[in-house]
Amino acid sequence: MSVNLSLDILNSVKNGELSPEDALLKLRLQPYEDLGYARVDHHRELRQGIAEVIYGEGKTPEQITGIASAMLDKNQKNILITRMSKDAAEIVGKTHKLNYHELARVGIIGEMPKPNGIGTIVVATGGTTDLPVAEEAALTAEVLGNEVIRLYDVGVAGLHRLLSKLEIVMQAQAIVAVAGMEGALPSVLGGLVDCPVIAVPASIGYGASFGGLSALLTMLNSCASGVCVMNIDNGFGGGYLASMINHPRRGVS
């Protein structure tokens, strides 16, 4: 159940259109919707402040369409679909107004919200080949209402590229650093800034990188304080956590 729908129910009680008992029943009724192949968690936004996100990989286009339809029926304003194939996007786009970002394999239904975070999120990459993961992080953060600054191809092989952007990274509220190969970029950033650095290892590199495992281990062993680490290629997780950092909890100043 979306925040907007919950407010509608509470306003109906306030206006005398609905009894408190009926309102309580509506709020309790179907905290998730059983579609048979998926149980859509309509209460997630009430619990966590962020509505459910559709993980597209492994789902058929028809399943994605059905889940998105259920969310829209509950007044969810925008829907994020990650790891979505181009073929699935073409089919889903026939029934929903879908904006598909092929590089990131991200689909977005609905309008992008205006940024309402307390600062900016920087998404940085070591190289150009890290862009698919970085764009997943950046688009996730933007869908969740954040202003995102992209700093791409600023890895340690040419450190002057990053150092020329110090003013930007030092003003960030959170940084998502995506890197493959040896994965050193988050440690460098962690030693420069006073905000959390979210390290995302990318499965980029030659044989001994083991599909991103070497970058993951480097990031886990970072000597810089304030660095946390996502799983390999988990740009969505990085963008999501950065958004949480950039949005204080309700009632907390």
pLDDT at 5: 64
Kindly give, in sequence order, each residue whose CB lies less than 8 Å from that of residue 13, ignoring residues fewer than 6 positions away: 19, 20, 23
Backbone angles phi, psi at 99, to 5 degrees: -105, 110
What pLDDT, on a 0 to 100 scale, did the predictor assign at position 27?
65
User: For residue 252, what pLDDT is reported?
Assistant: 44
In angstroms, rounded to a whole number, what is the distance separating the alpha carbons of residues 224 and 241? 19
Which structure tokens are listed for 51? Answer: 């509505």
Identity of the residue numbered 197: V
Tens-digit pLDDT string for the chain (253 aa): 455 666 777 788 888 888 887 776 766 655 777 788 888 888 777 777 788 899 999 999 999 999 999 989 888 889 999 999 999 999 999 999 999 999 999 999 998 999 999 999 999 999 999 999 999 999 999 999 999 999 999 999 999 999 999 999 999 999 999 999 999 999 999 999 999 999 999 999 999 999 999 999 999 999 999 999 999 999 999 999 999 999 987 544 4
pLDDT at 190: 95
For residue 120, what pLDDT is reported? 97
pTM comes to 0.86
Element (H, E) at 111: none
Q: So what's the pLDDT on residue 251?
A: 44
Cα separation values, 7 from 114, 165, 201, Å: 21, 43, 40
Q: Identify the pLDDT of residue 253.
A: 43
Q: Which of 45, 40, 54, 34 is nearest to 5 (CA)?
A: 45
- The full set of domain ranges for the chain reads 28-109, 120-246
- CATH fold for the domain made of 120-246: Rossmann fold (3.40.50)
Give tens-digit pLDDT for 182-219. 999 999 999 999 999 999 999 999 999 999 999 999 99
